Amino acid sequence: MKKHFLRTVLALAMALCLLTGAMTVAGATQAQPSDFDVLKPLMDLVAAAAETAGGEPEVVGNEETTLSSTFIARFLSLASIAGDTFGVTADMLASADQQAAYLPKVFAAKLPELAAITPSAPANGYIGFQPVTVNTGSDSDVQIIGELYYAAKPMSEMSDADYRDIQWLDRAVFSFRSDANALNGYLMTGFSVGSELNMEEAMQTYTDTILVEYFNQPLGFSILYPSVFTDDMLVEDDTGVSAKLPDGSVSFFVRRTDNTANSNLKDYVDVIANGIANAKAAVDEELQSATVAYETADGYLVHDVYIVTDKYVYQAELSYKKELASTYQMYTLYLDNSFSVDEVSVG
């Protein structure tokens, strides 16, 4: 079973209250989430501009690099659409001099030759950045690590139900340096996403902190599950493993049962989804698995992953109270990408 990028991707699903500030550079002052709330709109803006400026996400560097004209045009266009939030006006788009005065207050990178900008259309939907970890250095450097997402609105404005429709795009890292002359007091010294990140060791550290890998050799499957479930909570039997938090707010299981009906994946999942009100089902041909997501009458969001073979049905499930969606919804991505069975091998 192909696991995509999950072994080294950031384990982001624990909320800011669990992770932010937990990974500080030795000798540095631990950062608090509120310290960087002022940077969230800017990080969302840069993320949206970087993702939509060209064919590949833009990489923003430090003083040794130069911003691209395409990124600058997209960044300032989106900033002007945001009204007074960033102080970018239509006059600034038309004035290279105004751009030259403004951009060094945001970015440490050098500027290309500037020119009047034709405003571009707003993004279709909302691209944002969910901070997870703040690393502070000894030289006023700050690194904020998290995940890019696509949704109808910012996460700060979402209802419990809205979290079901988030699309997680990629891992991302911002770097800032304290600067009294910068916008909001911090100058951006770096931004990069996905494969541009040279942080494999750090990514594995976060993964190991937040996720636990479960192998069941006799039953022939493995999966990553949230490390909030400690070893003493695990209950194993001849079908698999399960766990539940003491207050019952979150639970998970993974199990193997016989495919007594000789069903294929799509038919099996269709039957399951059709029997649950308002369930959302999707088949992933690449992963050779399917998901079913729904809300229960007692207020839990449930996410199931299925893999069906000629002999067996493999099922992994994460269930949590809907008011905890901002913390646990991200784990559904990890269940989807990490669920692996010996009978199915891709790549």
How far is it, in rounded angstroms, from Cα 315 to Cα 239? Answer: 10
Are both 83 and 150 inside the same structural domain? Answer: yes
With contact defined as beta carbons under 8 Å apart, do 13 and 331 qualify? Answer: yes
- Asked whether residue 5 is assigned to any structural domain, the reply reads no
Same domain, 146 and 35: yes
Q: Are 168 and 273 found together in one domain?
A: no
Q: Which residue, 175, 204, 233, sits at the end of a domain?
A: 204
For residue 166, tell me if it sits in a domain. Answer: yes
The answer to whether the CB of 131 falls within 8 A of the CB of 146 is: yes
Residue 346 resides in a domain: no
Residue where a domain stops, chosen among 172, 204, 236: 204
Regarding whether 185 and 40 lie in a shared domain, the answer is yes
The 10s digit of each residue's pLDDT in 161-215 is 788 788 888 878 899 999 999 988 999 999 988 655 555 655 566 677 778 999 9
Question: Among 170, 204, 238, where does a domain finish?
Answer: 204
Query: Are 79 and 138 found together in one domain?
Result: yes
The pTM score is 0.73
**Cα gap 22→16, rounded to integer Å:** 10
Higher pLDDT, 68 or 15: 68
Domain span holding position 43: 16-204
In angstroms, what CA-CA distances link 16 with 132, 150, 180, 230, 327?
5, 19, 26, 20, 8
CATH classification at residue 308 = 3.40.1000.10
Tokens 């910068």 — which residue? 182
Position 33 in a domain: yes
pLDDT digits (tens, 9 = 90+) for 35-70: 678 899 999 999 999 999 988 889 999 999 999 999
- Give the pLDDT confidence of 247-274 residue by residue, as tens digits: 999 999 999 999 999 999 999 999 999 9
Residues 200 and 231 grouped into a single domain: no
Tell whether 40 and 153 lie within a shared domain.
Answer: yes
Spatial CA neighbour of 161 closest among 262, 301, 272? 301
More confident site: 291 or 28 = 291
Per-chain mean pLDDT for the chain? 84
Residues 54 and 146 in one domain: yes
CA distances from 234 to 14, 230, 269, 287, 319 (A): 19, 7, 27, 27, 15
CA–CA separation, 41 vs 179, rounded Å?
18
Using a 10 angstrom Cβ sphere, with 0-12 exposed, 13-18 middle and 19 or more buried, the burial of residue 147 is: buried
Whether residue 87 is found in the same domain as residue 43: yes
9 found inside a domain: no
**pLDDT at site 202:** 53
**Three-state SS at 20:** coil
Question: Is residue 211 one of the residues assigned to a domain?
Answer: no
Two tokens, residue 218: 């006799």
What is the domain count for the chain? 2
Same domain for 246 and 328, yes or no, is yes
